[in-house]
Amino acid sequence: MQNPYLMFLGDVGDQLGAKTAQGIVDWRPEWCIGQLRLPNCKADLRIRDITIEEAVASGAKTMIVGIVNSGGFLPDHWISVIVEAIEAGMDVASGLHIRLSDIAEIKAAAEKNGAALFDVRHPTNSIPTGKGTPRTGKRLLAVGTDCSVGKMYTALAIEKEMHKRGLKADFRATGQTGIFIAGSGISIDAVVADFISGAVEELSPANDADHWDIIEGQGSLFHPSFAGVSLGLLHGAQADALVLCHEPTRTHMRGLPHQPLPDLRTCMELNLTTARLTNKNAHFVGVAINTSDLDEAKRQEYLAKVEKELGLPTIDPFKDGTAAIVDNLP
């Protein structure tokens, strides 16, 4: 995917519907040259509103449909806007379940204008099965007690801190928002089950001995819906360093009211036991807590308690940065 991006929000009904687009603007503001909103759009990325013509004149290469809606469909009245963007010279990328190329008008416009269509949820390359063969370079993987506890955010914040220090590091995206932010990646929960670990081996190939891949985790080994994805990802990553991500106010596994969260130590132990199948040296280097729902006193108390109990640098990457974790890398 080529940047800069024009962010297309359609007419989504609330700010949450633009969560993916917001993630891109948060992490790659320099790639986002404007937003295009239809009448009645209730989301706002707080970047300038521009037309397709203005976007192209400003150098936009790809229009991003960075929208989440239930069902993953594309409303009919968005099609003509997407066709217009293609005719104006842009590629189009979407994180919806429906494929852009499955919509006849969009497919025809892309073929006629030589535009590329990216459906980031749908892996395109043929992926081999994982091999588990050790490869050069170093890898860090963010793992979690649950889904949506800040694994992507943590990985991106670690990459940013490493770049600030002039270290060689690449964020490796395994979900749709991450793919838009990185400009590439594999939506790991959408590959065929046999190829989970193979996809991660492809995503994070052999590299310089002092290079770090900072790999976005998915799900949790303790989530009954998605643990298979998490385990294949862990084995494929051959992680040298693990970071545990947690949201302390969560009362049950996301989407499953009957399912309790694991305690942090139990979660670390199972991740370590299984990670060591493909990397004997795997170990935890830090803990990242999403403390957004705690007041400052509770937040400090909680971080201090976890740091003492686990003996690992414990931070909220959003509020404290990730320097303490990067300091602890092997």
Q: How many CA atoms lie within 13 A of 34 on its CB side?
A: 16
- Distance separating alpha carbons of residues 154 and 275, to the nearest angstrom: 19
Minimum CB–partner distance for residue 75 and its own copies (Å): 22
Shorter beta-carbon distance to its own copies: residue 194 or 309: 194
Shortest Å, Cβ 266 to its own copies = 9
- In angstroms, give the least distance from the CB of 216 to its own copies: 15
Residue 120 in contact with its own copies, rule: CB under 8 A: no
Q: Map residue 286 onto helix, strand or coil.
A: strand
CA 74/CA 281 separation, integer angstroms:
45
Choose which of 185, 198, 313, 317 interacts with its own copies (CB under 8 A).
198
Query: Measured between alpha carbons, how far is 324 from 315 in angstroms, rounded to an integer?
Result: 8
Q: 123: helix, coil or strand?
A: coil
CB 232 within 8 A of CB 196: yes
The answer to whether residue 95 forms part of the interface with its own copies (CB under 8 A) is no
Binding status of residue 190 toward its own copies by CB under 8 A? yes
Distance separating alpha carbons of residues 235 and 117, to the nearest angstrom: 31
By CB under 8 A, which span of 43-51, 63-71, 149-157, 229-237 interacts with its own copies? 229-237
Q: Tell which positions 267-296 bind its own copies, by CB under 8 A.
A: 270, 273-274, 277-278
Q: Residue 1's closest CA among 132, 116, 84, 99?
A: 116
Q: What is the rounded end-to-end Cα distance, in angstroms, of the chain? A: 33
Strand blocks (E) in 95-191: 117-119, 138-144, 169-172
Stretch 30-49 residues interacting with its own copies (CB under 8 A): none
| 185/198 with CB nearer its own copies | 198
- Residue of 163, 224, 292, 308 that binds its own copies (CB under 8 A): 224
Distance of CA 263 to the CA centre of its chain: 24
What single string gives the DSSP state of each residue in 25-52? HHH-GGGEEEEEE-TT-----SS-B--H
Q: How far is the CB of 242 from its own copies (least distance, A)?
A: 17
Cβ of 249: how many Cβ atoms within 10 Å?
11
C-beta closer to its own copies: residue 37 or 139: 139
- Report the SS3 class of residue 216: coil
Q: Which residues of 67-100 are buried (b: 16+ CB within 10 A; e: fewer)?
A: bbeeeeebeeebbebbbbbbebebbbbbbbeeeb
Helix or strand (DSSP H, E) at 49: none
Q: Tell whether residue 210 is a contact of its own copies (CB under 8 A).
A: no
Among 71, 76, 258, 296, binds its own copies (CB under 8 A): 258
226 is a contact residue toward its own copies (CB under 8 A): yes
User: Looking at beta carbons only, is 58 or 266 nearer to its own copies?
Assistant: 266
User: What is the nearest approach in angstroms of its own copies to the Cβ of residue 188?
Assistant: 7
Closest approach of Cβ 6 to its own copies, in Å? 30
**CB of 58 or CB of 129, closer to its own copies:** 129
Query: Is position 304 an interface residue for its own copies (rule: CB under 8 A)?
Result: no
Per-residue contact string for residues 124-143; x = within reach of its own copies by CB under 8 A = -----xxxxx----------
196 binds its own copies (CB under 8 A): yes
Using left for φ > 0, alpha for ψ between -120 and 50, and beta otherwise, residue 219 falls in: left
- Which of the ranges 35-43, 59-67, 190-198, 298-306 carries the binding residues for its own copies, by CB under 8 A? 190-198
Give the interface with its own copies as residue ranges (CB under 8 A): 129-133, 188-194, 196-198, 221-222, 224-233, 235-236, 256, 258-259, 270, 273-274, 277-278
